[in-house]
Chains A and B, each alone.
Chain A
Amino acid sequence: MEERNSTEETPRNNALAQRRSKSYRQSMRSCVEATHLAYTSGLLTALRIPRSRKAPKSCDITKQVDPDQVALLVKKEWQLSYVTPLYQFRHTQLKSYSKQLSAFIVSEKQQGLAIEVGQELGFKVNFSVVLGLAETDKDAETVFIQILSKQAFSAKDDAQKVVWSGWLTCVNGDLDYLRSLPLEFVSLPLFCTRGPESLTVLVKSWFEKTFDCCFGPLGINSTNLQWLASLWTGCHPTINIQYLKLVWTLPTLPPMDVTYTVHPQDAWELWDSMRQVDTTEDSISIDEVTGFIKGLQSHFFRHFRIDLSAGSLMQISTALGSSHHSGKIKIASPNYIPTILQLLTECALLKMPI
């Protein structure tokens, strides 16, 4: 199903690019014959699934991004969602958003009690910009949100406890797509959250009401999990990945989970053998990735007579991070953040309805 979706045409750019010309509209004399709702397709451009990627380069992200902010992002497991472009989101208004969101949360929690915006409440919301994560000038800067709670019986000077955090980001988003959006829209397609589900729902609902956007869950399909496995394994010479763990679920009755842990050096050697000689050093093709996974699978088959390709890859993890089919990701090392975020941004953009 996912495979199928991802290989389908996504006729979206045309929708944005082919809006009806203004001149026609002005010449329109009556309002009966308007077809402005249908941006009729001209050229249907397919959003291509990348068949090759740049090999991850270790970079010291803390040179571009405030290390404190990087520390907020790494070593935590995030639940992923995608979000359609935000209408009239302004990075300059974050203070006012903080006030509005905290008032919204309190008013939703206390149904039927009006709340003055800006008043001191049980919750405090912080919006902040994480500068430096954006890779191109079309990428909007990442926005980090924290919800702090005041303990009812805590002393005045007690630090407020972070109960929820989340961030919206866009790293190396598809340029054609981003260019096709009108100026009033800000695309931050990837939304990562951590904290109680009830707060996530409230935050999403506030965003939906305020910026007329829509959220949906973002899973990581097996192709992308395979990409992640290969990318991380490729980093082994620079940073020890310590292990490569893959979890498959096989469609037996009852379903069988297979956890497959590979020694880092073995994994790397297999990966290195898959690397085609003629390809340039910093590019990885999808064939190499599938070859790598096939190699792992056939090794397993030789020993256990179980064909893993019949199942689906659910989870992979290394010391650099872990990722789950259901849309959970944990990035342990700050050095490869951009690579991972680029991949996830792609996944999120593929989910855009238009």
Chain B
Amino acid sequence: MAKAANLSKSDLDSSSGSDLSVSSRTSNRSLRVVEKERRKNEAGDPFLLALKYFSEVEAGTPCIGNDVLERNLVQVERVGLSRGLPPEAISVMLDYAMSLRMGGMMCVRVLKFLIPATMVPQEAVVRAVAWLCVSKIAISTQVLFLRWVLTVFDMIDSKDNLRAIYGFIFHFVTEENLSPYICHLLYLLTRRESVRPFRVRKLLDLQTKMGRQPFLLLLLSLYKVFCPELVALALPSRMRSGFKNHNSTWKAALSAVQKRNNSQVSSDISLTLGVKHKTNSRKRKYHHLEVPSLSSSVQRNSPFSSSRKVFPLEQLHTFPQLLDNLHRIELPSQMGSLLGSSLALCYLDYVQDDSAFLRLNFWLGHALHEEFLFCSGDGSSGSSSGALHLLNRLLSTQHFLQEGFSSTEGFLYKFLNVWDGSLLRPQILGLLSGIPVVPSSCINQLLFEPLVQLFFTSTLFFKCSVIDCLNNMLLKWLTWHSVYALEDGLDISFHSHTPMNMTLSGFMDSVVELVRFVGRLSAVGLQLEGCHSLLLSFILDFYETVCDMFLKYGLPLVVMPPVGVFYPALFATDPVSLDRLGYIMYRYKKNLTSAKCQQQETKQAFHISRQTYREFNHYLSFMVSCLWNSKMFLPGMAIEVDQELLSLSKVAEPWTSFDLIHHPAFLGYALDFHHKCWPERKEMDLNSIKAGKQWDWYLEFLFSQGFQGLQQFVQSSITRRSAAGTNDQGQGDRQPTNS
């Protein structure tokens, strides 16, 4: 579109068109032919004729009483205000106006309807600036022109040539009336190479002459961004809004034209100053909690670096900008400022600069230490909203980068020792769940000891959130592992190094430690809280992660829950826990069987011990005989009760009391089922469910209630010898996986 426009422009306007590159010229030759063809057809188009008139009209042609001029002008004006002018028309009209071929009045009139339809050719603006230098345009008209340039700035097709005449534009800065607009324009055009000591001095001279004008300061502040070694400036807080808009004359027409053309060209006219300055109003005692503002580094002492084109992070506003300038982005003077910008974090993730991370970690560690460990503010620190804000930002940053900072890690190890378990709990636990794998040699001292103390002395909800936190921690460790395992191919040998400077066996040791630790915590926690179902639910969440470590995360490791978790879940009074236990056992079985298969195939020595298989079989057979076969309290089973004691309880058939019908979790369903099966029966006989087809129906009924875990458990672990004919109870498969 733009090229076609340029072409037709070059036909009309003989003076230039040279900004087209050779290649595009040749490739567009055929286009040109088509264009000419079209032009012939439209020879009568009054708009084109009008443009032709303006491009050819002689200087000094009178304008008063000139009907031809008036007719053509109205023609172009109408198009301009309704549809917007194509690039070539802009070029012609701007040249016509600025050359003052028919005087200043015409110039003003033309400028007012110069609404671009798509874009403004840069070369037209450059030529207009040239006219600004030579002809005697009235100051008010000059201002109008500059305001027009600022308004359409984003629609100028490229700015290279404009930057090339930076010096000429800068020249106008001393003109008192133009100065605000020139400063704005310079602000938009400035690159580091345009900041020169003599320009700085000129602006400072102006500052002494004109006082603290916002436009001067804003331009100077940009100069400071590029060359902090040349100029020092602290912007007062009232002056942080940026430049004013100067688009009033064209605003309505421009937006109407753009709406009509449904133009994609962004004309975000409100050019605000992107540089955020820190507010000084904040009390100094919270100084360490403040994320520093992005500003470029003063550390440019070598002559080479100053000539290199760099892109300060301060000017980075969009992701495409980041991609375009990835190779020449300059890290800010204070790495802590990256925390405030997700774009900068993208960049940080991309560059892998040790020093940069170290700087960031120093800043972050310092902030955390000062706030929570040294408490240098006053006694009430930590509860301040500043701390909350910082931690939330840190959490979202770590979430964004999907990893924790080492300074956070170091801080947490210290802080756990002095934490009361309630201060900013969600944030602290959130950070804790993001710590990288801790070597098994010190995991106990750093993590477990302080956590145990907090865990056993706190409320149920704290216990739940600790288990949740450890579950998230395990999930992250496993995810890291699986990502690296994938990257290294399938060759998971025990000596390959993960990037965490850890061997696979070292990593497994840590995971085993963590899982065992949670097992201990859970067992005792459940006892302390009377097997609270909320706590149990969090614990089962954890084991849902644990049971799938092999299949989901490729870690050749299976750890069974301790008895203190298994039996409370099995005898839980709520069906949900039992259902989840069923699912967990089902996944354990899947993992163990596929581990076994792989072991047989590859003949590789896996470190899943016989003990694990034995434990699993033990749990499984107990579960099957208890739920399915109604066998309980038999000698040799995990739970043995003295027969005499049992008879004292006066429970009839005590061995059936935890089968699928009588289990406290399912009793309600059994009653419901019984009622639905035999609505006319007066006497309740639950045992009748066990007989015949009713048992199958009962199972169907249970599964239809949403107990998918139970269903998977039953289907995977119980082979029903009973064919359709023999209506005895199914037999549990007592040895699903042999060790």
Contact = CB atoms under 8 A, between A and B. Distances in A.
Contacts of B502: 40, 42
B41 interface: no
B34 interface: no
A44 B443 CA distance: 10
Interface stretch (B47-55, B163-171, B405-413, B560-568): B405-413
A31 B362 CA distance: 24
Contacts of A8: 414, 417
A107 B497 CA distance: 53
Contacts of B232: 100, 103-104, 106-107, 114-117
Interface in A98-125: 100, 103-104, 106-108, 110-117
Contacts of A28: 487
B355 A87 contact: yes
Contact of B333 (A18, A40, A111, A212): A212
A208 B354 contact: no
Interface in B432-452: 435-439, 442, 445-446
Nearest to B216: A114
A5 B373 contact: yes
Interface in B279-309: 284, 288, 292, 295, 298-299, 301
Contacts of B604: none
B528 interface: no
A40 B436 contact: yes
B334 interface: yes
Contacts of A1: 375
B696 interface: no
A41 B233 contact: no
Indicate the member of A88, A351, A353 with the most B CB atoms within 10 Å.
A353
B376 A216 contact: yes
Interface of A is mostly: loop
B438 A41 contact: yes
Given A111-B236, A216-B376, A41 B442 contact: yes
A32 interface: yes
Interface in B231-264: 231-236, 239
A185 interface: yes
A40 B406 CA distance: 7
Interface of B is mostly: helix
A25 interface: yes
A35 B500 CA distance: 8
A38 B355 CA distance: 13
A35 B403 CA distance: 6
A163 interface: no
Contact of B359 (A104, A108, A201, A212): A212
Contact of A33 (B357, B367, B484): B484
Interface string A238-278: 00000000000000000000000000000000000000000
Nearest to B237: A111
A243 B212 CA distance: 58
Indicate the member of B357, B359, B484 with the most A CB atoms within 10 Å.
B359
A305 interface: no
B234 A111 contact: yes
Interface in B498-513: 499-502
B556 interface: no
Contacts of A38: 403-406, 409, 435-436, 500
A29 interface: yes
Interface in A43-57: 44
Contacts of A161: none
B411 A353 contact: yes
A152 interface: no
Given A8-B414, A216-B370, A351-B369, A37 B357 contact: yes
A24 interface: yes
A313 to B, nearest CB: 19
Interface in A312-352: 351-352
Contacts of B200: 116
Nearest to A210: B298
Contact of A41 (B362, B376, B414, B439): B439
Given A15-B407, A209-B333, A25 B487 contact: no
Interface in A279-312: none
B365 interface: yes
A96 B230 CA distance: 11
B333 A37 contact: no
Contacts of B405: 37-38
Interface in B150-191: none
A44 B446 contact: yes
A32 B487 CA distance: 11
A154 interface: no
Interface string B12-55: 00000000000000000000000000000000000000000000
A31 B403 CA distance: 13
B233 A115 contact: yes
B295 A354 contact: no
B474 interface: no
A101 to B, nearest CB: 9
Contacts of A107: 232-234
Interface string B199-221: 01101100100001000110011
A182 B354 contact: yes
Interface in B343-386: 349-350, 352, 354-355, 357-370, 373-376
A354 B499 contact: no
Interface residues of B, number: 85
Given A20-B501, A212-B334, A354 B407 contact: yes
A85 interface: yes
A353 B368 CA distance: 8
Contacts of A44: 442, 446
A4 B406 CA distance: 22
Contacts of B413: 9, 11
Given A100-B229, A216-B374, A112 B234 contact: yes
Nearest to B438: A41
A4 B409 CA distance: 19
A296 B220 CA distance: 63
Indicate the member of B203, B229, B406, B484 with the most A CB atoms within 10 Å.
B406
B501 A33 contact: no
Contacts of A104: 232
Contacts of A93: 301
Nearest to B486: A33
B483 interface: yes
B701 to A, nearest CB: 47
Contacts of B295: 209
Contacts of A24: 497, 499
Nearest to A20: B499
Given A210-B298, A212-B363, A354-B365, A42 B229 contact: no
A179 interface: no
A184 B362 CA distance: 14
B173 to A, nearest CB: 14
A117 B232 CA distance: 6
A212 B294 CA distance: 12
Contacts of B228: 100
Interface string A1-21: 100110011111001101111
Given A112-B217, A117-B229, A212-B334, A87 B352 contact: no
A112 B216 CA distance: 10
9 contacts: A10-B410, A37-B406, A40-B437, A100-B228, A100-B298, A115-B233, A209-B333, A353-B362, A353-B410
Given A107-B232, A212-B359, 15 more contacts: A9-B413, A11-B413, A33-B483, A34-B352, A40-B436, A44-B446, A88-B299, A93-B301, A100-B229, A107-B233, A112-B234, A114-B204, A208-B334, A214-B362, A214-B363
Interface of A: 1, 4-5, 8-12, 15-16, 18-21, 24-25, 28-42, 44, 84-85, 87-88, 90, 93, 96, 100, 103-104, 106-108, 110-117, 182, 184-185, 201, 208-210, 212-214, 216-217, 351-354
The 9 closest A-B pairs by CB, nearest first: A353-B365, A103-B232, A214-B366, A107-B232, A114-B220, A111-B236, A38-B436, A114-B233, A112-B236
